[in-house]
Structure 1
Amino acid sequence: MSNMVFLKDKRREKQMKYERSMLKEVSVKELKKGIHIHFATFFHYGLLSKWSIEEGCADFAIESFLLGAKYSKFGFRGESMTCVQNRSGKEETRLTADFYDYIISWGCPNESVICHESLYIASECFMQHWWKEGFLRGQKRYKLRLH
């Protein structure tokens, strides 16, 4: 009698393998540099504590990177980056909103509305940057047939 293999389990296993291979493309140094670039002014003025939210920022950056990598197959097949980004719009928007909520809850919950707007814009740029990185590196892996 043979074992039953479920398609859902196989898909999940394949996805995990792909994500592991994609994570080899990102270094902790790159993540820290990206965090510093997008949030340096907030750290400088004391609106955010660098040490308390840096790990969370890295987690969200990785999620966004993997989301971009997941959708890179459409770019490899000929769609433009903007079309693909529109395709993943719901997931990217949800991820950005979760990231913004994380920053507000750990960073500066009592600051002004202007501060919150600036943080949202910075959060959106940060997530888009990592989505694009994942997309481009995933597309590169598809071109090299490493997927």
Structure 2
Amino acid sequence: MGTLLSFKEKRREKQLTYERKMLREISLTEIKKTILNYFNEFFQSRTISKAAIEEGCIDFAVEAFLLGAKFSRFGYYGESMQMVAYRCRHEEKLLTDDFFDYMLHWGKVNDDPMINESLMIACECYIQQWWKEGYTKGEKRYKLRLQ
């Protein structure tokens, strides 16, 4: 006889399967290019190596990508991207704040408020870009019925 799974375990298993499928859609070279586009100017004059913060940037890009892919289901069912972004604004804000704290801690950015504010804007744009990327690829998978 088969094993019994609770509803939570089955839902978690299904979520992990979907995330594994979505991770096939993301490229590590794309992530590294966006890291250079968004954060190269903040760390050019610093003695810290880019490899020290690159790993965290990759983790946060993957998290934002998966968050967008998770919420793409609502776009498939007719909501606009703006409505879906509003729906997950809390999770996205938490992710952005965590990323900003990570960049402040490991990036050793100065205490200059102007630099910190521009870093915060860069972090928000970075997370939003990867959220949108996950959203569009997830919506595409739903339309092709590949979920």
CA-CA distance at 1:79 after TM superposition? 0.5
Counterpart-to-counterpart distance in 2, 1:31 and 1:111: 27
Counterpart-to-counterpart distance in 1, 2:3 and 2:67: 33
Counterpart-to-counterpart distance in 2, 1:2 and 1:23: 30
Counterpart-to-counterpart distance in 1, 2:55 and 2:37: 15
CA-CA distance at 1:137 after TM superposition? 0.2
TM-score under structure 1 length normalisation: 0.95
1:60 alignment partner AA: F
Number of the residue aligned with 1:108: 108
Kindly provide the CA deviation profile for residues 31-80 of structure 1, in whole angstroms up to 9, marking residues without a partner as x: 10111111121122328641210000000000000000000000111111
Question: Could you tell which deviates more after superposition, 3-12 or 96-105?
Answer: 3-12
Q: Matched residue of 1:43: which SS?
A: coil
Q: Matched residue of 2:134: which SS?
A: helix
CA-CA distance at 1:110 after TM superposition? 3.5
Runs of 4+ in structure 1 over 3 Å off: none
Q: Which runs of 5+ in 2 are unaligned?
A: none
Q: 1:117 to 1:138 in 2, by over 3 A?
A: same
Number of the residue aligned with 1:61: 61
1:34 alignment partner AA: T
Question: Is the contact between residue 47 and residue 107 of structure 1 (CA under 8 Å) also seen in structure 2?
Answer: no
Number of the residue aligned with 1:6: 6
Number of the residue aligned with 1:78: 78
CA-CA distance at 1:109 after TM superposition? 4.5
Counterpart-to-counterpart distance in 2, 1:27 and 1:21: 13
Counterpart-to-counterpart distance in 2, 1:3 and 1:130: 38
TM-score under structure 2 length normalisation: 0.95
Question: Is the contact between residue 76 and residue 143 of structure 1 (CA under 8 Å) also seen in structure 2?
Answer: yes
Q: Matched residue of 1:44: which SS?
A: coil
